[in-house]
Each structure stands twice: as C-alpha cells, then as structure tokens.
Amino acid sequence: MRRIFGTIRPVAVSTAIEGLQQPVVMLLSLACFVLVALQPVVQLHTFGDSARLARDCGMGFLLVFGILVAAFTAGSTLAAEIRDGTAATALAKPVSRSAFLVGKFLGACAVAAVFAWCQTWAVLFAQRTAEAWVETAKTAGDRRDGLCALVSLAVPVLALGLAALVNARTRRRFALWFFGLLAALPPLAVAPLGLFARDGSWLGPSAWSAGLDLRVVPLAFQLLLLVAVFCAIATALTTRLATGPAVALSFLVLLLGFLADGAAAGGPAGKLLYALVPDAQHFWTADDLARGGSIPAARTLRCALYAATYCAAVLALGCVSFRKKDL
C-alpha cells in the first residue's frame, strides 16, 4: 500500500503544479473571481433578497468555471502527455497505468480545491457587498458595502501585481505565486475589513465584526465534491479524447445531471439516465440557506459518499480504457 501511494504522490504533485501553471486555468480563476465580486455591484433588480442573489450567482459561477478548470486541467496534462509521448516515458518506469491515472485525477482535484477556496472567499465578500438594510442616526435604507466591494476587487489586482513583482525579481513561477496570493489575501483582508460597518463607519477593535455569512462554506464544499466528480469524468474521457471534446462532453453530462432528478420519476429511460449520470441537484442545496437556514452535516456527508462512489466507478472505467490505450 505504501508503495502504491509513493507512486501516486509524485504524479499528483506534478499534475497539480502543471495545472496551476496553465494560462487557461489562471484566466478562468481570475475571471470567475472578478465576476463574482462585480455582480452584487451591478445588480439592477434584487427581488427583495440581494444577498441570496449574490450567493446563488456566485455559487453558479463556482460550479461552471470549476468544471472548466477540471476539464482543462485533465486535458492539458493527461491528453497532452499521451499525445506528446510523455506518458509512455513515465510508464516505462515502475509506474502502473492505474496509479498514473489516479495520480492525474488527484492532481486535478488539488487544482479544483485551490480554485474553490479562492472563489468561496469571493462569494463571502459578494454577500457582504450586496444590499442590506442599514440604519444610522441620520439615514435608513438599503445600502451596498462599498468598502467590501473595493477590497474584493483589489484582491486579484494585488495578487497579479505582487506575483509579477516576485517573478521579475526572483524569476519564480508567476502562476504559482498568483494562486498563492489569491488564496492568502482574502483571509488577511478580513481583519481590517471587520473594523468598518456596512455603511463605511468606523467600528473599532472592540466592535469588530467580519460580517461574512459562513453558512455558504458547506455549500461550496458540496459543489467542490461535484467538481471532483467531473475531474474523474474528464480524466477518464481524456484517455481517449482531446481537451475540446472532453470539455464539451463534461458540460453535456452536467446538463443531464440537472435533468436526471426529474427524469428518475419517469419510465425506464429516465431511471437509466439517473443511474448513469451524476445527480447534480443532490449537491445544489442553496435553498436550504433561505430564510436563515443551514445545511445539515448529514447532507454533506451523503454528498461526500455519493461523490466518492461515483469517482471510484468512473476511474475504474477510465483505468480499463487506459490499459487498452496504445501509447
């Protein structure tokens, strides 16, 4: 067992590092963070619940962009290595094809986890930025948190600037520094942000309040589990397909996954569809957060077990396909 993990670990680490350095992954992460931060600022109609709209839109961006990140990471590593002959060189060493494929999957999941961590902070900031009722001695009404909006938009700009500076001074890898800063700056920004109220007034250390709705964290984790499922699907698909077709098929599976829950109540075709594609609705539990609710821990555990089972089944099929692949 130790020998197997010793074989998988270097493959996973190299895949994660290579995936984070892909320009498309960095651009997708940057675009997602900015879109999530901007959407509460440009809302014209909030339907009476601006924070919920910011949360649902942000989580939707996290899911869609996360699947793109998973598919492109799998395609730019496994499919490219098969095409260029790098995979054949790696497998010439004492590395089994199954361990190689599992390592690629775990590396893609690590990239997705870094992406989800950054975007979860973007959603937390977007919820605080969204309109809320604020009463002061002079005024009362719905107001956006302008300071939080500036902070959330400054984070990716600062991450880009500091990563470029480090790269220019030390020639260290720009993309890795960018992701490290994008992951570290939001938690650091919470400390000074908590010193100010939503209307921009000074609270001070004695009345410090982050103002972040942490109930979204379990939902973000469940969506990360769904993205991990698509990491497995994309990894299995890229044993036979190039990146473009793998991305297209991944989104087709996502669409069918959102339809599968309703199709299960139909005839045999609907039940077959429900059995084959991942039930995406099972992971989307944003409605549980409405009106002050929370996501039960048991629901998150069921999602984790479902995702682990589905990933194991898909990777088993991928291993069978990869073993028969002529490299």
**Percent of all residues in the chain with a pLDDT value above 70, rounded to a whole number:** 85
Q: What mean pLDDT comes out for the span 197-219?
A: 85
Cβ-based neighbours of 118, under 8 Å, separated by 6 or more: 29, 33, 179, 182, 183, 186
- Supply the pTM of this predicted model: 0.90
Given the DSSP bridges, would you call strands 140-143 and 132-135 parallel, antiparallel or unpaired?
antiparallel
**Highest mean pLDDT out of 87-96, 193-202, 296-305:** 296-305
Assess whether pLDDT exceeds 70 at residue 327. no
Q: What mean pLDDT comes out for the span 80-107?
A: 74
Mean confidence (pLDDT) of the chain: 84
Instruction: Give me the pLDDT at residue 188, please.
Output: 94
Q: 3 falls in which pLDDT band (50, 70, 90)?
A: low
Q: What mean pLDDT comes out for the span 164-172?
A: 90
Q: How many CB atoms within 10 Å of residue 205?
A: 7
Q: 274 falls in which pLDDT band (50, 70, 90)?
A: confident
Instruction: Give me the pLDDT at residue 122, please.
Output: 95
Instruction: Give me the pLDDT at residue 264, please.
Output: 67
